Amino acid sequence: MTPPLARRRFRFQRFGRTNHLRIDSWQDLEAVLELDEALWVATTAPTATINCDPVFLDMMDADRDGRLRADEVKAAIRFLFENLSDRSGIAPGNTRLELGAVNGESETGARIRTSAGKILRRSGSTADAITLEEVRAIKTEVQQGGLDEAGIVLPEAAGDKRMRRFIEDIIATVGGRPHPAGAEGIDRECLAQFLEECRQYLDWLRLADPPAGETVSEILPLGEATHEAYELFLRLEKKITQYFLLCNIQRINPDFLSHALSPGTDTRSTNLLDISTAESFLADAPLAWPDSEGVLDLSGVINRYYSRDLERFTAQVLQPLLGREVRRLDQTAWRSVCERLRPYREWMASKPEVSVDGIADSDIAQYVTDPFFADAAAALIEESHRTAFVLDNIRELERLILYQAHILPFVNSFVSFPQLYDPDSRALFEMGTLVMDGRHFTLAVQVLDRKRHVESSTASGIFVMYAEVYGENQEKLYEVAVPVTSGSRGNIRANKWGIFNDIHGNEWHAQVVQVIENPISLSEAVAHPFVRVARSIMSRLEKVSAETEQHLGLGVLKDAGRKDGSIRQRGGDISPAGLLAGGGVALAAMGSSVAFITRTAAQLSPGIMLGALLAVVLAMVVPAAISAFYKLSSRDLSAILEGSGWGVNARMKLSRRQAHTFTYRPGRPAGRS
C-alpha cells in the first residue's frame, strides 16, 4: 500500500540573497507538493530552455504547449508516489527500475510491472530490475514495426510485398491518417473508402466489357483502341463540324463566306511573322477550303496545323468505323462516326468521381475480387490495437523510469536553484561556458526571442552579451545570453568571436551579436568619469589638430596658386609674413596664459592645491561610486531567465561570490617566466 503523504517541516536554505527549499531526496518531494507555489523560485518555463531528456520533458508537458507549469510538476511527483511502493530508487540519473519497487496495487503500476516482465522474458533475462536502455530498445522495435498506434497501420507493417503496395495505394489515393512516427498509415475508414471506390470504378469499367468471346462492344466499337481513337476524335470533332457548317454556308451564300474568309481588313494588321500569331491564325483557320458539295477531300489540300492528326484520325477512326477506305468524308458518314462514338462519350460522362482511377485496372480488379487484401489489411489494423496497447504500457514504464531519474535534478532547477549558486554544478537551464577576451563566462541561458530578452535584460542592471553559437558548416545552433558580472568590459564588443563549451562537452564557435551595457564592477564605475574626461580631452585635441591641419593645408594650396606667394582669405590676402606674425601672437597669448597660471599656483600653498584637486576628484568619483554601488547591488539574475520565457517568483540578487563565479580570468600556470 502506498504510504500517504506526510505533512513535514519545510527546510529552506539561503542561496545568494534568496531562500530556497532544500530538495535532497524523495522525502523532500512531499514538501514540494505542499509548498505554496508563490514560494517556488519558478512556476513556468519553456521546455526548449531546459537541458534534460526530451522525452522526459515531453511526458511532463501534459497539454503539449511547450511549457511546464507548477501543476504539471506536481502531477509528475504524484505519478511517482502512486506507482512506486519503494521510493528509495528516486535519485539523480538512476535509470534502473527495481520491479519490486513498483506498486502492483495501482492500475498503472500493475500494467508497468507486467510490461517490464514481458520485456525481460523476451530478452531472456532473469533480473529483478529493468533499465531505460532495455525499455527503449523494445519501444523502437515496436515502433518500427508500424503497429504502434491503435488502429493505424504503416506500410512497413506488411510482411508481403503485395500487401505493402496495397497499403501504399490506399494512402496515395484516398489518403491516410497521421502516425506518431511522422508518416501516414491506414485505418478501417481508409480501407473501407478505398475498397468502395475500387468497387464503383470496377463496376463502371465492366459496363464497357465486350460480350463473351467478343473484342468490341457498343461502348467500345474499336475494342481497346477506342480510348485512343476517342482522344483523336475530341481533338478534331469541332474542326470537322466547323468545316461542314462552312460548306453549308457556301451553298447558301458564297459571297458572305468568301468575304468572311478573305484576307481583308480584319487580317491586314495581323503580324504573321510572329510565331505565336501565325500558329493562332492556323488554329482558327478551317481544315480546308469549304466545298459546295459538302465533302471533305482527305487527300486534298489540308490545313497543315491539323494534317497529321487528320491522317491518324482517318486511319485509326474513320476507316475502322466506316469499314472501308476513306478518301472523301461527307456529312452522312461524319454523322455515322459521331453516332458510333456516342455510347463511349456517355459512358465517359458517367464515370464515378473516385480517386483510384490512377491505379492500373488489373490491380483494382484484383483488390476487389481477391479477399486476401481486405482480410490481411483488417487483420493488421486489429493487430495494431493489441500492439498499441502493449506500447502504451511500455511508454508508462519509460515514464516511471524517467521520472525516477530526472525529477530531483528538475525540481532543483525549477522549485529551487541550488546548482546555480554552486560553482561545481549546473542548473538544467544553463547552456555552457563562453570563453572570450581572456575570461570564462560560465552562465549562459538560451534565448528564444532576442528582442523580448533585451527588454528584460535592460531592467536587470547586468551587462549582457548575446552570442550566436555555430555548429559544423557554420550552421547556427542557438543563441545565448551571457551575463558579464565582474572585472571590466575589456575588449567585449559586437562581432567579437570566441568559443562556447556546452554542458555536453562540445566546443562550438560563438560570435557576439549584441551587447546590453550596465556597470560590471565598482572599480570600473569609479574609473569611468576619468576615462570619460580623458576621452573628451583626446577628442577635443584631435578635433583641434584636424582643424589646424585643414587650415594650414588650405593655406598652402592657395599660396601655391598665387604668383606673389600670398594667401587669399575672405577678408583679403594674407602674406607668409602675416601668417608668421599671427602665429607669434597666438604663441605669446598661450605663454601669457601659462605664466598667469604659474604665478597664481606659486601664490597658493601645496595643501590648498592638493585639497582643490582632491575636491575635484571627489566631485567626480563619489556620485559615480554611489550610483554604481546601487546598480551593482540591485543586479537581478531573475530578469535573465524571465527574458527566456521563465516565470520567476524570487528576486535573485547577484551576490559578490556569484559575480566572481560567473565571470573570471584563469590564473597562469606555474612555470618559468
Q: Which residue blocks in 174-225 are alpha helix, DSSP H? A: 188-206
Beta-carbon contacts of 443 under 8 Å, excluding residues fewer than 6 positions away, are: 420, 430, 482, 483, 485, 640, 662
Please give the C-alpha separations between residue 222 and each of 31, 43, 342, 346, in angstroms, as whole numbers. 87, 78, 13, 16
- Residue 311 to residue 236: CA distance in whole angstroms: 11
Number of domains in the chain: 3
Assess contact for 315 and 298: CB atoms under 8 A: no
C-alpha cell at 656: 559578490
Residues 302 and 415 in one domain: no
Give the number of residues written for the chain. Answer: 673
Listed in sequence order, the residues at least 6 apart from 654 whose beta carbon sits closer than 8 Å to its beta carbon are 16, 462, 485, 635, 636, 637
If asked whether residues 468 and 536 sit together in one domain, one would say yes
Q: What span, in angstroms and rounded, lies between the C-alpha atoms of 248 and 211?
A: 41
Specify the pLDDT at position 311. Answer: 94
658 close to 15: Cβ distance less than 8 angstroms: no
User: Which one of 411, 427, 443 terminates a domain?
Assistant: 427
pLDDT at 366: 95
Do both 258 and 314 map to the same domain? yes
211 lies in some domain: no
**What pLDDT sits at residue 12?**
86
Residue pair 469/476 in contact (Cβ under 8 Å)? The answer is yes
The 10 Å CB-count burial string (b at 16+, else e) for 441-452 is: bbbbbbbeebee
Residue the block writes with cell 475500387: 198
Q: How far apart are CA 154 and CA 185, in angstroms?
A: 4
pLDDT at 40: 95
CA pair distance 115, 132, nearest whole angstrom? 13
On whether the CB atoms of residues 488 and 476 are closer than 8 A, the answer is no
DSSP annotation of 316 reads: I
In a domain, 467, yes or no: yes
Cβ contact 90:84 at 8 Å = yes
Q: Which three cell numbers stand for residue 590?
A: 598661450
8 A C-beta contact, residue 328 and residue 295: yes
Residue-level pLDDT at 252: 80
pLDDT of res. 319: 94
In a domain, 641, yes or no: yes
Q: How far is CA 600 from CA 190, 446, 504, 604, 645, in A?
A: 103, 62, 69, 7, 63
Series of mean pLDDT values for 10-residue runs along the chain (673 residues) = 52 81 92 93 96 96 95 97 96 96 95 91 88 92 74 88 95 91 89 97 95 92 94 94 90 76 55 74 86 89 92 94 92 95 96 95 95 94 80 93 97 93 90 96 95 90 94 93 91 95 95 92 63 64 68 57 48 49 51 60 65 61 58 81 92 84 87 59
Cell of 166: 496495397
Q: Helices (DSSP H) in 494-646: which residue ranges? A: 522-560, 576-603, 606-633, 638-642
Residues 6+ apart with CB under 8 A from 437: 490, 491, 492, 496, 498
Instruction: Verify that 301 and 325 share a domain, yes or no.
Output: yes
Pairwise CA distance, residues 37 & 17, whole Å: 19
Which parts of 453-519 are beta strand (E)? Answer: 463-470, 476-484, 497-502, 507-516
**Has residue 662 been placed in a domain?**
no
Whether 592 maps to a domain, the answer reads no
Q: What is the pLDDT of residue 147?
A: 65
Residue 210 resides in a domain:
no
Angle at 47 between CA 46 and CA 53, to 5 degrees: 165
CB 145 within 8 A of CB 156: yes
Angle at 417 between CA 416 and CA 418, to 5 degrees: 105
* pLDDT score at 110: 95
- Do 105 and 157 share a structural domain? yes
Handedness of CA 310, 313, 315, 317 (dihedral sign): negative
Q: For the chain, what is the radius of gyration of the CA atoms? A: 45
Among candidate residues 349, 364, 399, the one where a domain is terminated: 349
* Helix, coil or strand: residue 569: strand
The CA-CA-CA angle for residues 271, 275, 280, to 5°, reads 80
Give pLDDT, residue 234.
Answer: 95
Query: What pLDDT does 271 receive?
Result: 66
Quote the pLDDT of residue 559. Answer: 56
Are 189 and 48 in a shared domain?
yes
CA distance linking residue 378 with residue 188, whole number of Å: 7
Choose among 45, 9, 8, 3: nearest CA to 644: 45
For residues 435 and 327, state if they share a domain: no
Grid cell of 301 as nine digits? 489540300
pTM of the model: 0.61
Rounded Cα gap, residues 475 and 410, in angstroms: 30
CA 200 to chain centre: 43
Q: 480 near 469, Cβ under 8 Å?
A: yes
**SS3 readout for 371-412:** HHHHHHHHHHHHHHHHHHHHHHHHHHHHHHHHHHHHHHHHHC
Domain that holds residue 634: 430-568+617-647
Task: Note whether 141 and 4 are same-domain residues.
Answer: yes
Note whether 407 and 510 are same-domain residues.
no
Same structural domain for residues 539 and 403? no
Question: Quick check: is 589 in a domain?
Answer: no
**Which of 300, 330, 349 is the last residue before a domain boundary?**
349
What pLDDT sits at residue 179?
82
Residues 392 and 322 in one domain: no
Q: Are 496 and 452 in contact (CB under 8 A)?
A: no
pLDDT, residue 572, reads 47
Q: 161 and 228 in one domain?
A: no
Is residue 150 a part of any domain in this protein?
A: yes
SS3 451: helix
pLDDT for 409: 96
Q: How far apart are CA 278 and CA 270, in angstroms?
A: 9
